[in-house]
Amino acid sequence: MRITASDALLVIDAQNDFCEGGALAVQGGAGIMPLIARLAERFDTVIATQDWHTPDQISFASNHDGAAAFTEIEVAYGRQMLWPDHCVQGTVGADFHSDVVSAATKALAVVRKGHNPAVDSYSAFYENDRRTATGLAGLLRERGVQRLFLCGLAYDYCVRFTAEDAVHEGFEAVVIEDACRAIAEETAAAAKAGFTALGVVEIAAADLTPHS
Ligand SMILES: [Zn+2]
């Protein structure tokens, strides 16, 4: 698959808290960071996302008495998974991993998500209420981007919802599978099924050919 000038690479949540030693570590997260940095070198347009919460974020289990992380609760916009506190604004955990600093530096824009304490945000396009847009679709359209390549963390949450919303917004979406890692097998299988149903293509990084 050849990269073109109207493609963009979306680097999803390549942050310390999602890597080994972080507050919400995804197994193998740190290991894909060098690959993500190499991928970013090949694209003219790179966009990064950054999970960016305040301490009173609704999805933090610590903000709900007696609730455990990795259980679901009912909130105003539906079911919400509870997480350990992670990616708090201005903390080291919210910083980009040191191996992707070059990609973050190259990024045309950094979309920060989950900053509203009352609404979590997985997708780079919409918050979890499914109504509040981040503005990313407009940015990409105005830049003439037609196809999005996705990599980062976690495959079964933020990569998944971003890829699905990309299709809904009229973009082609390609997930670079070996440049992603998932939180859990079951949700990863659900993500894969969703991709197949929506026409999200999955490739390996080695399948990409640089454009001239
Ligand atoms: Zn988060």
Dist. CA 2 → ligand 1 center (Å): 33
- Buried (b) or exposed (e) across 71-92, using 16+ Cβ within 10 A? eeeebebeebbbbbbbbbeebe
For residue 161, the domain's CATH number is 3.40.50.850
Dist. CA 128 → ligand 1 center (Å): 11
Dist. CA 161 → ligand 1 center (Å): 13
Q: Is 158 a catalytic residue?
A: yes
Dist. CA 192 → ligand 1 center (Å): 21
User: Per the domain annotation, does 29 fall within a domain?
Assistant: yes
User: Per the domain annotation, does 188 fall within a domain?
Assistant: yes
Q: How far apart are CA 13 and CA 133, in angstroms?
A: 18
Q: What was the pLDDT predicted at 212? A: 61
Spans of the chain below 70 pLDDT: 212
pTM equals: 0.96
- The domain total for the chain is 1
Q: Is 106 a catalytic residue?
A: no
Domain span at residue 169 reads: 7-53+89-207
Q: What was the pLDDT predicted at 65? A: 94
Dist. CA 193 → ligand 1 center (Å): 23
CA-to-CA separations, 152 to 12, 28, 68, 85, 174, in angstroms, rounded: 5, 11, 26, 20, 13
User: Per the domain annotation, does 102 fall within a domain?
Assistant: yes
User: Per the domain annotation, does 186 fall within a domain?
Assistant: yes
Given the residues 7, 13, 85, 165, the one annotated as active site: 13
Q: Is 113 a catalytic residue?
A: yes
Q: Is 208 strand, coil or helix?
A: coil
User: Per the domain annotation, does 27 fall within a domain?
Assistant: yes
Share the mean pLDDT of the chain. 96
Note whether 173 and 148 are within 8 A (CB).
Answer: yes
Given the residues 17, 85, 106, 113, the one annotated as active site: 113
Q: What was the pLDDT predicted at 1? A: 92
User: Per the domain annotation, does 77 fall within a domain?
Assistant: no
Rounding to the nearest 10 degrees, give the CA dihedral for residues 210, 161, 69, 20: 0
Residue 105 CB neighbours (<10 A) = 11
Given the residues 158, 165, 180, 192, the one annotated as active site: 158
Q: Is 160 strand, coil or helix?
A: helix
Q: How many residues does the chain have?
A: 212
